[in-house]
Amino acid sequence: MAARPVSLADVRRARRTLAGVTLTTALESSRRLSALVGAPVRLKCENLQRTGSFKLRGAYVRIAGLSERERAAGVVAASSGNHAQGVALAAALLGVRATVFMPQDAPLPKVAATRGYGADVRTYGQVVDEAVRGAQEYAHETGAVFVHPFDHRDVVAGQGTVGLEILEQCPEVATVVAGLGGGGLLAGIAVAVKALRPDVRVVGVQAAGAAAYPPSLAAGHPVPLAQPVTMADGIRVGRPGAVPFRIIRDLVDDVRTVSEDELAAALLLCLERAKLVVEPAGAAPVAALLAEPGAFTGPVVAVLSGGNVDPLLLQRVLRHGMAAAGRYLSLRLLLTDRPGALAALLDVLSSAGANVIDIGHVRTDPRLGLTEAEVELHLETAGPEHCAAVGAALRAAGYAVMS
């Protein structure tokens, strides 16, 4: 068998390179997740890393390893945001000129932050894979060194320092769960963890709409997805990297997928219960724990890979996550169109403890009878049981709930 492209020695060298540059991020306990799993669960807070994600680790190691001639030519990268910021800061710290290609729909805060670190930002394509092609063309034309977001041994080695920290902070760990896009983070963690603790289970988590690894592992080689779709832009990658794929194929115990609803619920849990701002990609390991808590042997360490979330996306995700958790209730019902009818309805809702967020009152729809009015309500509730209780209160009061 051919030697793997990244070794424990490479990860340890990367750690020495990163001394004084990256933070040893905190490992926080989660009582909520621990109760669900039935064993200790700890959160590795890479969302609190410099630039807001783990990406600085790999980017800095890659650029620090360049020759003086290569540094003089500058570097170019492609990313939806986190790798972009990592490259931009790493290049600035090392005095290297950086150009970054970002997809057209990259979150605006990530674009602004990348520019803020001093990089020249160019938008290109709809997804990261297209931006990668644009950056590679630029590298060919200008001589700049292309810094791949995940498919390079130095990048994987840099990300592997997360694994070393986990073993030091939680020596008793039994399972490590990390998000999976192109594979750099998971591969690096697997190299470090399996070399020192082969008994530890390493699990990757992909968004179901961008899950290129399951078919690739089944085929034995990277298989591209035609159109990866997920709100988790940090792991929205259409094709596994060749370097991390070899490592993940050999060392990772399981790859799981999670839905958009599960990602939203996980992000909400991180914010509400752990008091941590996490982007959807960073919440993927938590989503896997929520989806099937009995599948994980503890102690578990879930890697929160990043926290660079667009506020507009955060608003939508939180609203969606609250709805999925039974914290919002939307319904329609018919009223008799007479004075005081709406006030009587609101009195029932108030008595049931439901908070009205929005209300729509329609009288003129031709579908309605002469004395009918349709009311659409959006309510804030305390959970699924409260939703059921509100519906029961309305029916007991004589209202026909339509949806």
* Mean pLDDT computed over 37-56: 97
Dihedral sign, Cα of residue 157, residue 216, residue 124, residue 317: negative
Q: What is the mean pLDDT of residues 273-286?
A: 94
pLDDT band at residue 365 under the 50/70/90 scheme: low
Q: What is the pLDDT of residue 174?
A: 98
Tokens of 142: 């200008």
Q: What is the reported pLDDT for 366?
A: 65
Arithmetic mean of pLDDT, 278-303: 96
pLDDT at 61: 98
Q: What percent of the chain has pLDDT over 70?
A: 97
Task: Decide: 117 and 82 in contact? Cβ < 8 Å.
Answer: no
Query: Is the confidence at residue 326, as pLDDT, over 80?
Result: no
Q: What pTM, to 2 d.p., does this model score?
A: 0.85
Given this model, what pLDDT does residue 368 score?
A: 63
* Residue 305 is among the residues annotated as catalytic for this protein: yes
pLDDT for 175 beyond 60 = yes
Cβ distance 149 to 79 under 8 Å? Answer: yes
Q: Please tell me the distance from the alpha carbon of residue 193 to that of residue 186, in angstroms, as a whole number.
A: 10
The 10s digit of each residue's pLDDT in 119-141 is 999 998 877 778 889 999 999 99
Q: Between 273 and 302, where is the model more confident?
A: 302
Delineate the domains of the chain, giving CATH numbers in brackets. Answer: 8-53+157-322 (3.40.50.1100), 55-153 (3.40.50.1100), 326-396 (3.30.70.260)
Q: What confidence category does residue 247 fall into, taking pLDDT thresholds of 50, 70 and 90? A: very high
Torsion sign over Cα 264, 162, 156, 118:
positive
Q: Give the tens place of pLDDT for each residue, 179-203.
A: 999 999 999 999 999 999 999 999 9
Give buried/exposed letters for 17-45 (b at 16+ CB in 10 A, else e): bbeebbeebebeebebbbebbebbbbbbb
Q: What is the pLDDT of residue 84?
A: 92
Long-range (24+ apart) CB contacts under 8 A made by 339-343 are: 341/373, 342/373, 342/375
Contacts of 300 (CB under 8 A, 6+ apart): 33, 37, 39, 40, 41, 42, 173, 174, 175, 176, 177, 289
- Which of left, alpha, beta for 353 (phi over 0: left; psi -120 to 50: alpha)? left
| Residue 335 tokens, joined | 């009223």
CA quadruple 186, 188, 189, 192: dihedral positive or negative? positive
Q: Is the pLDDT of residue 231 over 90?
A: no
Write the Ramachandran bin of 182: left for phi over 0, alpha for psi from -120 to 50, otherwise beta. alpha
Instruction: Using the predicted structure, report yes or no on whether residue 362 has a pLDDT greater than 80.
Output: no
Rounded mean pLDDT, 157-184: 97
374 against 89, higher pLDDT: 89
pLDDT at 229 over 70: yes
- Paired sense of beta strands 75-78 and 372-380, if any: unpaired
Average of pLDDT values for 104-124? Answer: 89
Q: What is the pLDDT of residue 360?
A: 79
Q: In sequence order, what are the beta bridge partners of 328? A: 380
1 pLDDT higher than 60: no
In the residue annotation, 30 being an active-site residue is answered as no
* pLDDT over 90 percentage in the chain: 63
Which pLDDT band, with edges at 50, 70 and 90, does 369 fall under? low
- Condensed to tens digits (0 to 9), the pLDDT of residues 283-294 reads 999 999 999 999
Range from 16-25, 127-136, 217-226 carrying the lowest mean pLDDT: 127-136
Q: Note the pLDDT of residue 3.
A: 73
Assess whether pLDDT exceeds 90 at residue 12: yes
CA distances from 42 to 13, 39, 286, 298 (A): 26, 10, 10, 10
The pLDDT mean for the chain works out to: 91
Q: Count of CB atoms within 10 A of residue 363's CB?
A: 11
The pLDDT, as a whole number, for residue 65 is 96
Please identify which of the residues 44, 55, 110, 194 carries the catalytic annotation.
Answer: 55
What confidence category does residue 333 fall into, taking pLDDT thresholds of 50, 70 and 90? confident
